[in-house]
């Protein structure tokens, strides 16, 4: 029998994305830019620092879209319950909005699963 290797050989690691989210109706109804933004947000999320500082301008640059398109993606993720803004930006002091990713744990607590309550209109 061949020996299986359980190690990933990708520099920088991998991102695990929950199948429960991937297969959900709220996720499936998202526009592609919003889906891509979820992965960008999860890429910078850290379990020991669960809130993510990420601006619309930075998201637009990462996703190669306009600021307006990135802003709409944040809005769609918020409306679908995938993210929550926990702190508004302070443009004069150069501080981006702070986001909580609702499909991931937060300070050792279970995710809040707000996205599960989303209903299509």
How far, in Å, CA of 54 to CA of 95, rounded? Answer: 9
* pLDDT band, residue 1 (cuts 50/70/90): low
**Mean predicted lDDT score pLDDT of the chain:** 89
CB contact at 8 A, 78 and 84: yes
pLDDT(25) > 90: yes
Mean pLDDT score, 31-37? 98
Answer yes or no: is 114 within a domain.
no
The CATH number given to whatever domain includes residue 67 is 1.10.10.10
For residue 29, the enclosing domain spans: 19-104
Which phi and psi angles does 70 have, rounded to 5°? -65, -40
* pLDDT reported for residue 36: 97
Mean pLDDT score, 90-117? 86
The residue with greater pLDDT, 106 or 84, is 84
Answer yes or no: is 38 within a domain.
yes
What per-residue string of b and e applies to 45-75 under the rule 16 or more CB within 10 Å gives b? beeeebbbebbbeebbebbebeeebbebbbe
* pLDDT reported for residue 76: 98
pLDDT(81) > 90: yes
Question: 74: helix, coil or strand?
Answer: helix
pTM: 0.87
pLDDT(91) > 80: no
* Number of domains into which the chain is organized: 1
pLDDT(49) > 90: no
Q: Which residue has the tokens 């937060």?
A: 106
Answer yes or no: is 80 within a domain.
yes
Answer yes or no: is 110 within a domain.
no
pLDDT(35) > 70: yes
Answer yes or no: is 86 within a domain.
yes
How far, in Å, CA of 93 to CA of 52, rounded? Answer: 17
């Amino acid at each position: 029998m061949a020996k299986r290797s359980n190690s990933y050989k990708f520099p920088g690691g991998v991102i695990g994305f929950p199948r429960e989210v991937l297969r959900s109706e709220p996720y499936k109804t998202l526009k592609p830019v919003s889906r891509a933004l979820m992965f960008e947000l999860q890429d910078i999320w850290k379990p020991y620092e669960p809130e993510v500082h990420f601006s619309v301008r930075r998201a637009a640059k990462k996703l190669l879209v306009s600021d307006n398109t990135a802003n709409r993606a944040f809005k769609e993720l918020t409306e679908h319950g995938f993210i929550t803004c926990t702190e508004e930006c302070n443009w004069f002091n150069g501080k981006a909005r702070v986001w909580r990713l609702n499909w991931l744990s937060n300070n050792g607590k279970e995710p809040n699963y707000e996205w599960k309550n989303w209903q299509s209109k």
